[in-house]
Structure 1
Amino acid sequence: MNSFNPRDRRAWRRIACGLLAVLLVAAAYLGWSRGFREEPQPAWVFETPDSRYRYGSIGAEHEAGIPYWIFYVLPRVFPEKFRQDGQVVAGGYAALGVAWEQGQELPVGFTKKTIGFPRVANNCAVCHTTSYRVSADSNPVFVSGGPGHTLNLQNFFRLLIDCARDPRFNADILMAEINRVTKLDLIDRLLYRFVIIPMTRQRLLEREAQFAWIYRPDFPDWGRGRDDGMNLTKYLLIRAPMDETYGPADIPAIWNLAKYKAETGQLPNYAGDTHDVHSVMIDSALGVMAAAPADPEDFRKQMAWLQDFLSRLPPPKYPFPVDGDKAAAGRAIFAAECAACHAGTRVGTRIPLAEAGTDPGRLESWNPDAARAANRIVGKMGIERKGLVEAPLPGYKIPFLDGIWLRAPYLHNGAVPTLRDLLEPPERRPRVFWRGYDVYDPVKVGFVSDGEEARRAGSRLDTAERGNGNGGHNFGTGLAPADKERLVEYLKTL
């Protein structure tokens, strides 16, 4: 005989429903907490403007972030994937030429933020921080806003895709390595094994088609300190089909951005292909994020802070002694030979390609249709900016020379190693040299670009290869050798 009356049954149903609701709420909270709950970065990141620039998140962790413990163990599981010039190199992420301050957990430009679980992403400092040494036995000096001339960005992109392609990128192998270095709780172990590792691999493999052009054997490697920025925009933001263009360019310095005055035609980027600094900041950050910002209002605030910081950031002072008399004589030579372009009304404006005579690859890699498509996409994100120039670009921009001593190698594609080499006719400039060694050469004004250590640490650049032409900029090449030395001495002071 059933001892429960209808009232008892209804009471038990209410209890069961209540317990189920509690369980569902608990499960939802657990899912949100371990998958999406966003925690602020630690206070030390924001102690100084420099530390915020180097380690502060711009929101890239949401879509482009790599789970921290996967990022941590990749060099242990896949040491053979860290390569340069076709050879395996030791050192893990340091082998990619990232700037890495002593005592820091991650390299400069690598941000760590918890969104459910700790994730690693990038900010602008990964490309725009210079590392240099005054001698081979000295510690590196890091300069915020400078060109990341040691960074092998192409190999970083390849590394992530190559690891994801490898069948060893699976939960058993990665979890075994993670368990060697940390103790995750039960929930995190389950999440990593059944959700985080499979999803990370899938998302990395989804990028493979967008990065197909960086594997083309008929395109030379970018090498250290360069990217193919306009093709990155075409293939990652616009999702355009791969074409035959190749436009490697030096990673630029981004200090003292207040010097660009759009109203007088002084435009940023190598070809003046963007209307103003604000647009460059937005588009560059979107490239790092690989998606629309998860929090548009926070993104706008981050970009406003970053633009203000970089607009005020002064170029670094030359760290070696300068011969005052020689520099004074060089200043007069500069006024006669260089100032009309680099210190007058033409600076920051475009010079026709035929007049400059430099490699056309960077110009050929971009077009008005791509600019219009990019502007439409960013507009649909609800982000206001003047955007990219939707007109043909006739030539490269005449650069400002602030901090020119630290912006080696030279020309837009970084095909001339030192300032002294740039003052030689193209046929007498180095045909082959090594980029990315960080010991400075105060005589020729640039980085040491040959010798055993330069060849070991740097990447080889052959100026006969596509996109690497070192011709053009014949200005000053006819000066007497002594006058070239005086001019270079003056350029150290800018």
Structure 2
Amino acid sequence: MKTRCKCPRWLILSGLVLLVLAIVFGLVGWDRFLRDHGAAQFDNPDERFKYGSIGAENDAGIPYWIFYVLPRVFPDKLPKPGIGYASFGVVWEQGQELPVGFSKRRIGFDRVANTCASCHVSSYRSQPDETPTLVATGPNHTLDVEAFFRFLVDCAKDPRFNADTLMAEINLAADLDFIDRLAYRYLIIPITKKRLAEREGQFKWIYRHDFPEWGRGRDDAMNLTKYFMIRWPMDDSFGPTDMPSIWNLKKYQPEKGHRMNFAGDSHDPYSVVIDSALGLMGAEPKDKDAFLGQIDWLVDYLKNKPAPKYPFPIDAVRAAQGKAVFDAHCAACHASARTGTVIPLREIGTDRGRIDTWGKQAAIAANQVVKDMGIERKGLVEAPLTGYVAQFLDGIWLRAPYLHNGSVPTLADLLMPPAQRPQVFWRGYDVYDPVRVGFVVQGPAAERAGTPLDTRQRGNSNQGHDFGTALQARDKAALLEYLKTL
């Protein structure tokens, strides 16, 4: 005998309505908060490098409209009020929505994140009134990344970082629909504030008064890895380094004993790119296959991207004379089997701060973190650091300032005895000095654009690397001319 359902029809209908509403709200929530619309596509490899997503928007991304209004709401927290993100020295091309090295991707809502290009696109000018020439994969010597990190944390800690204040500014610039307005007010703004404020603990060392400012064009790379990737407690190490060039990475051949990074703490380009990308992402990749596909593209691009040619006139006769000087005084380290290998610190005599920020146990811990993500790579070198890598000199003209910590402004200064090198100079001005082979580092314009580097401060020593300092003036001039050709 069949039994009939005794549930009232209204209850069944109510249940169906609730089910439909739950599905609708679920789909709307997925679409507005989680749906990945994919990364923007680029036909030009340089454009993809400058603006393409590496997947950092998921965990490290900042909601676009919050990113947009922060300089407007907090001009007092900028290094130089009135010019927005340009005050951090970001490279910004005319007509572009975002600075170079910032990607935009919609994952539910538009988000902004950093890419490798934020630190690895150079700019230079021959005259102050000239439009800058950009060089993808070059060192960004104008970016004050420490000031940018502080800006984000300081904004999040400020009482003005609230829904009323930010929404008032967002509404002046954007016509958000009803759902997005609700989402920003009640979810996106509070969550972003919380997540940015949480970074303060990891950034404690950049607020230490006994550490000098990194300044433009530098970071404290291995401490960033130590405190973010392996989450070690803050110690007393401080090792600022210049932003490196990352062109022509195929020159590094591990089978020949080549090591990467300034102190030789990584095995190969693939490992360096993976670790750098993971640092930008701040978390395990959501889609590992897509992440590794992007890494493969980046490694291929960086291996085959040539160093830029010197853009100013070269005296061919003098350069030929300089080749002989180079062979006699420089080639033993910079054009030999030693190139790309670690030279002991006792032989170089440069600042040891960068070496002291990292070590064997840190490398073991970092390699384990990446292995636990299911990512295979040769990884970081699990051995004590003993010196600095003898650099390949391709494109050396654009890699000023010099030494691993960027403490010597020009190649001409590097050929001076350490006691005669500039003690204080200004980093971050992109007008080029073809005579001294480097950037202009003194004068009112350099002071307005740059940040000071005092070589008497910790981590900033300009001592060491006194090779070629005893050459005659004519030989130094010839050597400089030859170095322009590399």
Q: Report the TM-score when normalising by structure 1.
A: 0.97
Q: Which residue of 2 aligns with 1:76?
A: 72
Q: Which residue of 2 aligns with 1:138?
A: 130
**After the TM superposition, which residues 312-461 of structure 1 pair with which residues of structure 2 at under 5 Å, given as runs?**
312-461=304-453
Partner SS state of residue 274, structure 2: helix
Partner SS state of residue 63, structure 1: coil
Alignment counterpart, residue 34 of structure 2, candidates 8, 23, 36: 36
Alignment counterpart, residue 224 of structure 1, candidates 202, 216, 225: 216
How far is the alpha carbon of 1:90 from its aligned partner? Answer: 3.3
Q: Which residue of 1 aligns with 2:144?
A: 152
The count of residues paired between Structure 1 and Structure 2 equals 483
Alignment counterpart, residue 297 of structure 2, candidates 305, 312, 315: 305
Alignment counterpart, residue 17 of structure 1, candidates 15, 18, 27: 15
Q: Which residue of 2 aligns with 1:161?
A: 153
Q: CA RMSD in A?
A: 1.0
Distance in 1, Cα, partners of 2:5 & 2:139: 76
Unaligned ranges ≥5, structure 2:
none
Task: State the AA in 1 paired with 2:122.
Answer: T
How far is the alpha carbon of 1:393 from its aligned partner? Answer: 1.2
Deviations 1:51-93 (A, max 9, x none): 110110000000000000000000110001112xxxx443110
How far is the alpha carbon of 1:9 from its aligned partner? Answer: 4.9
Alignment counterpart, residue 97 of structure 2, candidates 84, 93, 105: 105
How far is the alpha carbon of 1:8 from its aligned partner? Answer: 8.5
Deviations 1:336-357 (A, max 9, x none): 1111110000000010001000
Distance in 2, Cα, partners of 1:214 & 1:252: 21
Does the CA-based 8 Å contact 2:428-2:449 persist in structure 1?
A: yes
Deviations 1:82-132 (A, max 9, x none): 12xxxx443110110011111100000100000000000011000000011
**After the TM superposition, which residues 89-100 of structure 1 pair with which residues of structure 2 at under 5 Å, given as runs?**
89-100=81-92
Alignment counterpart, residue 249 of structure 1, candidates 232, 241, 247: 241
Distance in 2, Cα, partners of 1:296 & 1:253: 27
Q: Which residue of 2 aligns with 1:171?
A: 163
Task: State the AA in 1 paired with 2:70.
Answer: L
Q: Report the TM-score when normalising by structure 2.
A: 0.98
Q: Which residue of 1 aligns with 2:476?
A: 484
Q: Which residue of 1 aligns with 2:226?
A: 234
Distance in 2, Cα, partners of 1:18 & 1:51: 50
Distance in 2, Cα, partners of 1:469 & 1:290: 31
Distance in 1, Cα, partners of 2:346 & 2:238: 19
Task: State the AA in 2 paired with 1:466.
Answer: R
Partner SS state of residue 197, structure 2: helix
How far is the alpha carbon of 1:17 from its aligned partner? Answer: 1.5
Distance in 2, Cα, partners of 1:47 & 1:381: 31
How far is the alpha carbon of 1:12 from its aligned partner? Answer: 2.6
Task: State the AA in 1 paired with 2:176.
Answer: L
Alignment counterpart, residue 465 of structure 1, candidates 457, 466, 474: 457
Distance in 2, Cα, partners of 1:134 & 1:102: 18
State whether structure 2 residue 35 is matched by structure 1 residue 53.
Answer: no
How far is the alpha carbon of 1:13 from its aligned partner? Answer: 2.5
Task: State the AA in 2 paired with 1:68.
Answer: Y
Distance in 1, Cα, partners of 2:249 & 2:50: 17
Task: State the AA in 2 paired with 1:268.
Answer: M
Task: State the AA in 1 paired with 2:226.
Answer: K
* Cα separation, partners in 2 of 1:390 and 1:7, compared to 1, 3 Å: closer
How far is the alpha carbon of 1:18 from its aligned partner? Answer: 1.3
Q: Which residue of 1 aligns with 2:24?
A: 26
Q: Which residue of 2 aligns with 1:67?
A: 63
Distance in 2, Cα, partners of 1:468 & 1:192: 43
Deviations 1:188-235 (A, max 9, x none): 000000000000000001111000000000000000000000100111
How far is the alpha carbon of 1:137 from its aligned partner? Answer: 1.1
Partner SS state of residue 433, structure 1: strand
Q: Which residue of 2 aligns with 1:3?
A: none
Partner SS state of residue 120, structure 1: strand
Does the CA-based 8 Å contact 2:258-2:267 persist in structure 1?
A: no
* Cα separation, partners in 2 of 1:242 and 1:42, compared to 1, 3 Å: closer
Distance in 2, Cα, partners of 1:315 & 1:7: 78
Partner SS state of residue 98, structure 1: coil
Distance in 1, Cα, partners of 2:126 & 2:402: 19
Q: Which residue of 2 aligns with 1:214?
A: 206
How far is the alpha carbon of 1:367 from its aligned partner? Answer: 1.2
Deviations 1:126-176 (A, max 9, x none): 000001111111100010000010000000100100000100000000000
Distance in 2, Cα, partners of 1:405 & 1:285: 27
* Cα separation, partners in 2 of 1:15 and 1:157, compared to 1, 3 Å: same
How far is the alpha carbon of 1:41 from its aligned partner? Answer: 3.5
Q: Which residue of 1 aligns with 2:267?
A: 275
Task: State the AA in 2 paired with 1:74.
Answer: L
Distance in 1, Cα, partners of 2:213 & 2:286: 33
Distance in 1, Cα, partners of 2:258 & 2:188: 46
Partner SS state of residue 453, structure 2: strand
Deviations 1:34-65 (A, max 9, x none): 0001112344xx12001110110000000000
Distance in 2, Cα, partners of 1:392 & 1:50: 36
